[in-house]
A and B are shown apart, each in its own frame.
Chain A
Amino acid sequence: MNSLKKIFDRDTWDEIFESISKNRTRTIITTIGVFWGIFIYLVLAGSAKGLENGFDEAFSGLSKNSMGIWAQSTSIPYKGFEEGRNPVFQLSDVDYIKDRIPEIQYISPGLQRGAFSGSPPLVVRGLKSDNFNLFGNFPDQANISVIKIFDGGRFINDEDIKYERKVAVIGEGTQERLFDVGEDPIGKYIRINDINFKVVGVEKFTEGSGFGSDSDITIPYTTFAKIYNRGDRFGFMFISGYDYVNPNYLEETIIDNLKIIKTVHPDDDRAFGSFNIGSLFESIIKFTRGMVFLSLVVGIATIFAGVIGIGNIMLIAVKERTNELGIRRALGATPAEVKIQIVLESVFLTIIAGIIGIIVGAFLLFVINIGTSGLEEFPFTNPTVPLTIVFGAFVIMVTLGTLIGLIPAERAVSIKPIEALREE
């Protein structure tokens, strides 16, 4: 009889289904292995993905290739300069660096009062007043650390810089402390160090974005420089590289160049301070990738162990059923028919166990997702496993199920029917 025809024959499946359902304990024990394997795999892979999504979301406010660099004080005497000197950036340095390093996409020098040095200026509006950190920035800043302006407002623009306009973008916290609830601050004036500034935008606070807090005030760089008499000197800069650039390489190159133009000893590691979101982000990406890979390895190993378990139990089952298989062969079952039956039983059990594993695993991920969706401090969002991977695991499972089923099947027909019949 044609083997392929047998596989799609209803009678074959009746036989298999009967054999499986009538040996319930064996069936359950057999399927647990594969069920567990695919379940663990799915939950692990889904959790890794959820973690990745969670980190993605936590860092969504940042350009993933950005860094900040500021001047500190030198620690090594160099070319006649004593140690302890404070290098000062000049606007011309910005052009120099940008020309020298083509990997830089945006570079934005910044001025501040209150955040690291100087005292935060007093800001007054009507009867309310408080001290706030003040920043002077260029429009490009919005391209580096993602700045979200509430509806109706805007960030600093080129015109503001050109005409040294007295406009300000305020933080959410600033708005709360200077304005009444429900009052639209756009177009209203606030007084910073007795100078009136028109509020043009309210910035939505993004955690981890730059140096800022939720209660900052940003004014045009040029306006800031004029008020505080900075000339072309500035204290820190934000830089972002193109997507293809390695952030660590970019950071090093910029600092090396700064050392040259600011006459700093090449080995002086303390002259400039920096933080690198790109490298931080990269290590997190590596971590989550590692997690995904680990879950893949563990999952496949578990599935493998499960399938081997099926093979094992099928082997015992074949031994147990030696007599039955002998009877079948005495009644006219060909070796191929016996083999197909055993292999199909093995594959069928594998598939059923796999499907249950997928369903239960998906359900658990669903429950975990609901349970963690409210928690902001736990970076875990939308744990999913790509269908291709589920499908891949499924194919691996069925293939292994078939291969492993061949072992007991081969054993089943290797016994002569007469010996099989003697077995009690």
Chain B
Amino acid sequence: MIEINKLHKSYEMGSSSLHVLKGIDFKVEAGELVAIMGSSGSGKSTLLNILGMLDISDQGTYDLDDIRIADMDEKKAANYRNRFLGFVFQSFNLINYKSALENVALPLYYQGIARKERQKTALNYLDKVGLKDWSLHLPSELSGGQKQRVAIARALAANPKVLLADEPTGALDSATSREVMALIQKINNEGKTILVVTHENDIANMCKRIVHLKDGVIVEDKKIKQNIIKDV
């Protein structure tokens, strides 16, 4: 599903440059649930941004579902993001003046799908994350866990190939974190490929595979026995 080879990325910081990713080789099969771990500054967010086509690499190749992601202008990148990728952010990144339903429907809007169908699909996904009754509420009227579930519903709405979650539980307490991770596990079990960036061990252990990043290189890549959440 995802295949990257010898990926390099550095940031210009005035006169000096900061080499963040130093040759990453990395492969993800369809249906995997991968935790990308590492301390802050290890390059894990940069990797996720490149995977999410929000940022571009300096060197190396990136194939998503056998499509070479290269030489993309903003328009093409936007279309690919829309069709292939779903994002879940630490800070939810919901549009605060739009209701939960409208937020979920937004990626479908950019796909050019008709309003009625959009709303129907969005409501389905809200139902899937257990928030059907909250569809007309604004983000400010939702709890943190609910917001993240709306964000997950939104990420799923366009039926992407890969779900990218950047510290999805970073802003949540442990009980809510478990709820959200349970949802992610459930979605993964339905066949969706998911990448989760985290620095928390217990969150990583809820995934099926852990990739450890340190100073821009992968230091460890292992399949683990998944800690399946049952009590939610």
Contacts and interface: CB of A to CB of B under 8 A. Distances in A.
Interface of A: 1, 10-11, 14-15, 18-19, 22-23, 323-324, 326-337, 413, 416-418, 421, 424
A11 B54 contact: no
Nearest to A1: B112
B109 A413 contact: no
Given A11-B109, A330-B52, A333-B110, A23 B93 contact: no
Given A11-B115, A331-B107, A332-B111, A22 B97 contact: yes
B194 to A, nearest CB: 17
Contact of B154 (A329, A331, A337): A331
Interface of B: 49, 52, 54-55, 74-75, 78-79, 81-83, 87, 89, 91, 93-98, 102, 106-107, 109-112, 115, 154, 158
A339 to B, nearest CB: 11
Contact of A416 (B55, B87, B89, B97): B55
A410 to B, nearest CB: 13
B49 A331 contact: no
Contacts of A11: 109, 115
Contact of B110 (A332, A421, A424): A332
Contact of B95 (A327, A332, A416, A417): A327
The 6 closest A-B pairs by CB, nearest first: A332-B82, A22-B97, A332-B110, A418-B54, A334-B78, A331-B107
Contacts of A328: 95, 106, 110
Nearest to A337: B110
Contacts of B74: 334-335, 413
Contacts of A416: 54-55
Nearest to B155: A331
Given A331-B87, A333-B110, A421-B89, A18 B97 contact: yes
A64 to B, nearest CB: 62
Contacts of A19: 97
A25 to B, nearest CB: 12
Given A11-B109, A418-B49, A421-B93, A332 B158 contact: yes
Nearest to B110: A332
B75 A336 contact: yes
A1 B98 CA distance: 23
A336 B89 CA distance: 24
Contacts of A323: 93
Contacts of B112: 1
15 contacts: A11-B109, A15-B109, A18-B97, A19-B97, A22-B97, A331-B110, A331-B154, A332-B158, A334-B110, A335-B74, A335-B75, A335-B78, A418-B49, A421-B54, A421-B93
Nearest to B80: A332
A330 B75 contact: no
Contacts of A23: 97
Given A23-B97, A421-B89, 18 more contacts: A11-B115, A14-B115, A18-B102, A327-B93, A328-B95, A328-B110, A329-B78, A330-B87, A330-B93, A331-B81, A331-B87, A332-B82, A332-B111, A334-B74, A337-B110, A416-B54, A421-B93, A424-B91
B113 to A, nearest CB: 9
Nearest to A327: B93
A331 B95 CA distance: 11
